[in-house]
Amino acid sequence: MNNVIRIPSITASIFDQEKVVSLTASYLQSKMDVLESVRDLYCEIDEAIEEGENIQNILSKRKDDFDEPEKLELFDDNNLIDFIQNKELDNLTDIIDTLRGEWPILDVVDVSEAIFYDNIEQKSELSWGEVFPLYCEPKEETIKHFIDLCSCVAFMEVEGNYFIYLTTSGQDFSRELAYAYLCVDDCIPSNILTDQENFSPAGEYIATKLTEFFNS
């Protein structure tokens, strides 16, 4: 599989900002009803614990709410209440930590409404003024994959053109960018990454995928 040379990056300020659409933000907005339901559940559990109530009462009351199709879809056909009860979780910290471990998109959910919405914004905010052009449109499952696995990378669309952008700055994200190109365009541009250097800073999963690409 050959690398493709293309422009390393484009300054985002050249775009008409009214025509810039963050695909990552759009995906998160499409899941807001589900995410807000999880936050409501956390708040009810937190209140019950403060008042010395048994949280199982809250869980039983909310079980049917998490049988709705859009919730089952986001949680891999799991009813979130069943999952909590099967794990025998009985305090809010364990519930939050366990759910985030299983579904990393729930990293954004917090009992604090302000922190919740701030987390949503940070997942899709352009933090560095350069974007990276793509040939192909990122699929929804790819956008979710990066929210879950590598949230420093996000995707945008500008008048039918697609780009990768970074939501975090201050370090070298060439490996993460390379993996994003691999997932969307099925190649890695030679001006992004060119060899099998030590990939460990990007995480074991991404390192494995990059090694497989360069060994192919």
Residue 106 lies in a domain: yes
Residue 3 lies in a domain: no
Asked if residue 99 and residue 138 are part of one domain, the reply reads no
Q: How far apart are CA 51 and CA 190, in angstroms?
A: 59
Share above pLDDT 90 across residues of the chain, in percent, rounded to a whole number: 67
Average pLDDT for residues 173-177, to the nearest whole number? 89
Asked if residue 136 and residue 207 are part of one domain, the reply reads yes
For residue 69, pLDDT over 70 is answered with: yes
Asked if residue 58 and residue 111 are part of one domain, the reply reads yes
Q: Does the model's pTM come out above 0.85?
A: yes
Specify the range with the lowest mean pLDDT, choosing from 56-65, 110-119, 161-170, 186-195. Answer: 186-195
Asked if residue 85 and residue 56 are part of one domain, the reply reads yes
Asked if residue 136 and residue 115 are part of one domain, the reply reads no
- Domain holding 59, by residue range, is 30-120
Residue-level pLDDT at 1: 46
